[in-house]
């Protein structure tokens, strides 16, 4: 079945695009990655969440209260958080949170499809991020090491225009920089965070972007090649070429 290091912990596949008509660039690219991965390693370790079709509930006051109380205790193992919950609201919030945290911690590879919405990430993805970011959930309470230190994260991003370095809207990109900062803070090793982005995806249907259609075609082709290569690369392999 291939290198066991690549399949360790399996693949957690998340899509966040609201476009479910078959036209989503990020869904197409994450689907390509997932198919390549499953063809090589099988289906046993594959888990999928459509964050747009089945939204993660927004965190509520019970989440905030329990998170604050837990953080004040210092390093608290996940198994002991439930004992800190006070009342049905906090218990409900923790019941919604724990399975998502456990699922992320268990994954060997995390694949996330992220279109750019209004210069940032979709609300559906942000709701998942807020939910799993429970205080201390990704730090080992005994050693202080990050639980995701050996996890590979592949962000498959897309944007309708061009936001790369040197472009007029480079300063408006709150998609890729945000995700880099977030997963870095979560403890994902720099060499295991891979960001592939298809740019100018609206060049084919927005007249103002028509002059950039060739660039859009090249960008999408490069993104397809990158996700295909990443899907079958063992964990700890050489860094992917970023397409930004």
Q: Domain residue spans in the chain?
A: 4-231
- What is the CA angle 7-11-15, rounded to 5? 160
What are the two backbone dihedrals, phi and then psi, of residue 47, each rounded to the nearest 5 degrees? -135, 140
Say if residue 17 carries a ligand binding annotation: yes
Say if residue 16 carries a ligand binding annotation: no
Which pLDDT belongs to residue 7? 61
Burial class of 21 by CB neighbour count within 10 A (0 to 12, 13 to 18, 19+):
exposed
DSSP letter assigned to residue 196 = E
Distance in angstroms (rounded) separating the CA atoms of residues 198 and 160: 9
Q: Which residue has 């009342």 as its token pair?
A: 87
What's the pTM?
Answer: 0.91
Say if residue 116 carries a ligand binding annotation: yes
Block means of pLDDT (10 residues each) for the chain, length 244 residues?
Answer: 59 96 94 96 94 98 98 94 98 98 97 98 98 96 93 97 90 96 96 96 93 96 97 65 38
Say if residue 118 carries a ligand binding annotation: yes
Let me know if domain 4-231 sits in CATH 3.10.580.10.
no
């Amino acid at each position: 079945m291939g290198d066991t290091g690549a399949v360790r912990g399996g693949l957690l596949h998340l899509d966040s695009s609201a476009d479910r008509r078959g036209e989503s660039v990020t869904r197409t690219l994450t689907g390509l990655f997932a198919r390549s991965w499953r063809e090589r390693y099988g289906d046993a370790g594959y888990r999928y969440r459509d964050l747009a079709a089945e939204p993660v509930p927004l965190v509520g006051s019970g989440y905030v209260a329990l998170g604050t109380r837990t953080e004040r205790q210092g390093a608290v193992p996940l198994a002991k958080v439930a004992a800190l919950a006070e009342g049905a609201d906090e218990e409900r919030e923790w019941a919604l949170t724990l399975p998502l945290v456990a699922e992320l911690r268990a994954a060997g590879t995390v694949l996330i499809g992220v279109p750019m919405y209004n210069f940032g990430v979709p609300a559906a993805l942000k709701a998942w991020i807020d939910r799993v970011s429970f205080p201390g959930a990704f730090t080992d309470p005994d050693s202080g090491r990050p639980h995701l230190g050996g996890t590979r994260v592949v962000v498959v991003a897309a944007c309708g225009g061009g936001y790369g370095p040197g472009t007029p809207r480079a300063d408006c990109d709150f998609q890729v920089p945000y995700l880099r900062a977030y997963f870095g803070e979560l403890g994902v090793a720099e060499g295991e965070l891979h960001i592939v982005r298809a740019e100018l995806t609206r060049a084919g249907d927005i007249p103002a972007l028509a002059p950039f259609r060739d660039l859009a075609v090249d960008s999408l082709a490069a993104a397809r090649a990158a996700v295909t290569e990443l899907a079958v690369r063992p964990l700890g392999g050489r860094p992917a070429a970023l397409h930004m």
